[in-house]
Structure 1
Amino acid sequence: MLKAAVGLALTLGGIGAIEAAPSLPLAQPKAANLARMKAESLNGGLGSYRAAACMYETGASSCLISKSDQGFLFRFRGGPPGWEKQSPPSPTLETRVLVSLNGERILAVPYNGPIP
């Protein structure tokens, strides 16, 4: 019984050593979802468009170009459903969306078109 308790304590003690992911501002995941949904709407809906996988990650950190007083600026590629599964992946569009710092409003869509 003592062995089991010591083993459990050692196991649980190691849990604290796991490095926590850096925390995101609460508004960032909301802003990312809003930006992705805007791109989906602009490009024909989910039946004809899918944003890059980075836009489905919590907060879309790898698609976030900047966070400033102006808001969250996302840049990501997209294309028809299944484009990321092609070899090589063949996106057809690029979208840039600026979302307010509170994640509640689209402020601008500086670009939505062919990949430059």
Structure 2
Amino acid sequence: MVKMVKHDTVLITEIMNKTAWIYVKKEHPFPYDSAMKFINGVVNARIKLHPCGNHPSRISHDPVTKCFNKMDTFLTMKANSRCAWEIVHATTREMLQRLERCSLGSRR
């Protein structure tokens, strides 16, 4: 079970890294203050989770990386429209929720 918790933490950390990366890298239609507050929240949560996973910071998960690369391409194709950003936001939230459901199910 401990191994699963560490694995979940590593995945969550990777998703948070990629989420912060895409919001910093791409132009978005959100107010600057709101976006910075969100990005800082993601970065701070990632920093708090880092010791829990006890893993190197340069770890990469191909499925997560591929997914975020696809989102990056999608945003470019849609000219960073608000609608495209809403889809990216929903996709990121869904990934974290699925991971949470999987980890809760495996711990029972």
Q: Please, what TM-score do these two structures have when normalized by structure 2?
A: 0.29
| Structure holding more helix per residue | 2
| Structure holding more strand per residue | 1
Q: Which has the higher contact order (CA 8 A, sep 6+)?
A: 2
Question: Max radius of gyration: which structure?
Answer: 1
